[in-house]
Structure 1
Amino acid sequence: MAKTHEIKVERRADEGKGASRRLRRAGSVPAIVYGGELKPVSIQINHNEVWTASQHDWFYSSILDLSLNGDVQKVLLRDMQRHPFKQQIMHLDFQRVNDRETLRTAVPLHFLNQETSPAGKSSEVVITHELNEVVVECLPADLPEFIEVDLGNMVQGDVIHLSELKLPKGVEIPELKLGKEHDTAVVIAKFAKVEEEPEAEGGVAEVPAAKVAKDESQK
């Protein structure tokens, strides 16, 4: 069963750009909760608390419990606006979830055992992560915080596709329902090309002019 994380919020009465600026100066983040059978609600969240939460993968892919004086609503983060250069969250959008309704959201991938794999140990192989997250469908209770990808047996030439990911029970990748051409590569172990330094014309390596002059003076 997926873990949940509680985020304490407060209702905000004032709306508009001016009110949002005042909230941010006071150390809060304006946000909105929408979806389901209830009307959208404007809320505010302590910036330091939500900033700390935003440093973890679960904040983006897990079911969150928004607690308003004990009234808890289960939501998913749907949008986050950040300041262009400050470490500041400007606005958040949360969508209510229904325990009985399938949801679709992106889940991060965690890559394991890359350095200890045959490909990871070889200086002639480069392992590239083509995807860092994957969109899944499932009931809220089945939503994983992340999906592990074991690279321990990778050798040069190996490719891990979406269809090879080990998904928790009740979790599906909707992209795979569209056909084999949508079975995207997740990880590729490929030969690392080493560019050779070009030789001078005639196959003779060039010698720096300063070295030539020094050699001539010592004759």
Structure 2
Amino acid sequence: MSTESDTTTETVATQAGDARITWHRAKRARLVLAVSHGAGGGIEARDLRALARVLPGHGVSVALVEQPWRVAGKKLAPAPKTLDAGWRGLWPALVGPGLPVVSGGRSAGARVACRTAGELGAHAVLALSFPLHPPGRPERSRAAELLGTGVPTLVVQGGSDPFGRPAEFPAGDFALVEVPHGDHGFAVPKRAETTQERALEIITESVVEWAASLG
């Protein structure tokens, strides 16, 4: 854990059930990055852990958000409208510190952040492993969610992500960073030129640089 942060956890009641926020607070925060997990995992994801470790040292408090279904111990994520309801319900706790809040998430969590950014007044959106389409089904594009955020948006995508490789993304008002050889969880093969450590560095360095550019 970074020496530039302190960690606390709080439970927040929402319409969809109790959510949980694990705060990694910067000592001199100027921004909050709130990120949620995907439909198949939790806040232990390697990219979320890396961001929580690194960003507080750069003035960004990180709030790792566990959606109500995950807190309740369920194995399957609910419908998108329920995920959105949970995110809306915990948003007041995220803006409580009075700092601009970047809404983010990985996979399904990235979709939630994109869908709700405008109505919640998010300062920006961070989409990690945005699931552009189901694997093997490029015709079922979710690009409209990404293109409709209305705020500065950064996509960080694995070069081998079956849910959408970087070259598949449409042109739009968002920035995109590729993690070479990374899959949907940003894991890279041992034979790849990019090491796992370097893959995580690409993620954190890109987010640090992008966050610094936000007004």
TM-score by length of structure 1 reads 0.23
Would you tell me which structure has more strand in proportion to its own residues? 1
Larger CA Rg, structure 1 vs 2: 1
TM-score by length of structure 2 reads 0.23
Would you tell me which structure has more helix in proportion to its own residues? 2
